[in-house]
Chain A
Amino acid sequence: MKISKKDVDYVAALARLEFEQKEEEKLTEQLASILGYVDKIKEVDTSKIEPTSHGFSGENVWREDTVVKSSEQTIESIFKNAPAKDGMFFKVEKVMDMED
């Protein structure tokens, strides 16, 4: 599979990453090599195998609907992991549109 600089730019933009031109060239090469390996794997005949969504087997891991409250300490440490807070809120960059 061919990877162009445009593909790298696109993926980088989605991941909110910025690269120097030199890094970009290196990444283009590395990604091409990784995807080349995927091409090789694709040669295996999987027509009779169901698509695998998970790397391990198992199903229906679930729990009952019972409330467990976080301790104040836990909440405090979550706030400590955030870049900024304002009172009871996490402080984030201003956003106005696009609420999904």
Chain B
Amino acid sequence: MNAKYEAVIGLEVHSQIKTDTKVFCNCSTDFHSQPNTNICPVCTGQPGVLPVLNKKAVELLVRTGLALECRINKKSVFARKQYFYPDLPKNYQISQYDLPFAEHGKLNISVDGGVKTIGITRIHLEEDAGKLVHDIGMKKLDYSLADYNRTGIPLMEIVSEPDMRTPQDAAAYLTALKSLIEYLETSDCNMEEGKFRCDANVSIRPVGQKEFGTKAELKNMNTISGVEEALVYEIQRQIEVVENGGKIVQETRTWDPDEKVTKSMRSKENAHDYRYFPDPDLVPVILDDDFINKIKKDIPELPEKRKQRLISECGLSQYDANVIISDKALADYYETALETASKQSDNSGKQIANWITTELLGKLNSAKLTIKESPVKAENLGTLVALIIKGTISGKIAKMVFEDMFNDGKDPDTVVKEKGLVQISDEGAIVAICKEAVAESPKIVEEYKAGKERAIGAIVGLVMKKSKGKANPQMVNKILIDLLKQ
């Protein structure tokens, strides 16, 4: 980025609240249903119907708001946002305007080894719109198809303050927010299913200037890295416009992930006038301290705290701890493995983290599996590490065992037994092999006795070969030194 300018970025995240039913009717929120099977007179806006609020949606939003250190408003009101669009059968969206459920929160993010605090302006509850289909397979249609299954599904819109200055800040914020929500289990955050969507407001200004520049709103980024890429492009575009004497126009731009550019979406409808007003069909929501405290008590350990605990209690490095807590399922996996290992051996925390970050994640990645789909169960990884620590198998053998565990889903004890991989730690047995090896290597023994201590390595190698890698290497070393003294 040109050093003369800095960017100002604020993000709006729409996250689908994890309820079984829609926000104002009893229709299912199931993503995989056939088109237009989860619809009813309420969500399709038939005349004379009345919406009734889903209490669970409010509870989950408040839970999210509390975790983001928001103030929960005692009184909240729903408002109608009015516009015409075929994905909105009522011609208005039920949302919130001046009295949202939560306001004035914050979220800490880690960037470049430091910590930044990003303000949360507000979190409000609103209903999702339907899904429009513009083509079938490769065929472009000359009309559009509407599926109202998604219409009325509860969303929490989380609006940040314009506190981010770089695309990396934005990516770190989204990663931290997504991870927090996954810990809270208030949304699935499945980006492919559109359950965690992000729009970005971005402007540039000369470094040192207090006032904001004119912003553009970016849409259609479907991944966190997409948001980052779109921001990098858009910031550069705005700098070029200004450097060439042009002016930034306030507009909505769409990210084209194939061409890697943002494109203006200017249309006749761009001058929106939503005419918000309180929805007369829905009475205000009053949340008392009891309601809020009950939810507060139920909030689980959050990622930041869990990270600190893994560092102090399990001896993990910042880096390993960051990798492991970034995904709740992964952190749960780690702790399950650790629990299993701890029953069998001590000090396995760091080794388990190593196995996860260096072996397991790479393998899962190339097999396109998530941690929940891992063929190696957490308990089995814990047992494997315990086997190494106890000296039952060597680290080298463990890699072979892990390979079999990943490919066949077997537990380590079975693999070790089936293949006869148990490390030989029986002194008598090792002494016997060592004696054999010494007898077979008179020249090396001579060299060793003449003072070339390194020569012993060749005999150790022979012992390992004879034992098919199963002899305990530390014991072999010690026994050989004793034998050669005689």
Contacts and interface: CB of A to CB of B under 8 A. Distances in A.
Interface stretch (B35-43, B160-168, B339-347): B35-43
B420 interface: no
A59 B93 CA distance: 21
B284 A99 contact: no
B53 interface: yes
A16 interface: yes
- Most chain B CB within 10 A, of A60, A89, A90, A95, is at A90
B44 interface: yes
A97 B283 contact: no
B429 interface: no
Contacts of B275: 14
A58 B146 contact: no
A64 to B, nearest CB: 7
B283 A99 contact: no
B147 A62 contact: no
Nearest to A51: B278
A91 B145 contact: yes
Contact of B145 (A55, A56, A58, A90): A90
A70 B83 contact: no
Given A64-B55, A74-B41, A92 B143 contact: yes
A59 B37 contact: no
Interface residues of B, number: 58
Contact of A65 (B19, B39, B285): B19
Contact of A74 (B40, B83, B85): B40
| Majority-rule SS of A interface residues | loop
A83 to B, nearest CB: 11
A68 to B, nearest CB: 4
Interface of A: 14, 16, 53-56, 58-70, 74-75, 78-79, 81, 86, 88-100
Interface of B: 19-21, 26-28, 34-41, 44, 46, 52-58, 77, 82-87, 93, 129, 132-134, 141-148, 219, 252, 254, 265, 267, 269, 273, 275, 278, 280, 282-286
Given A60-B285, A68-B21, A70-B38, 13 more contacts: A53-B284, A62-B54, A63-B26, A78-B40, A78-B46, A88-B35, A89-B146, A91-B143, A91-B144, A93-B143, A94-B143, A95-B85, A100-B85
30 contacts: A16-B84, A54-B280, A58-B283, A61-B52, A61-B53, A63-B52, A65-B19, A65-B54, A66-B20, A67-B20, A68-B21, A68-B27, A74-B41, A75-B36, A78-B40, A78-B46, A88-B147, A89-B36, A90-B146, A91-B145, A92-B86, A92-B144, A92-B145, A93-B143, A93-B144, A94-B143, A95-B132, A98-B252, A98-B269, A99-B87
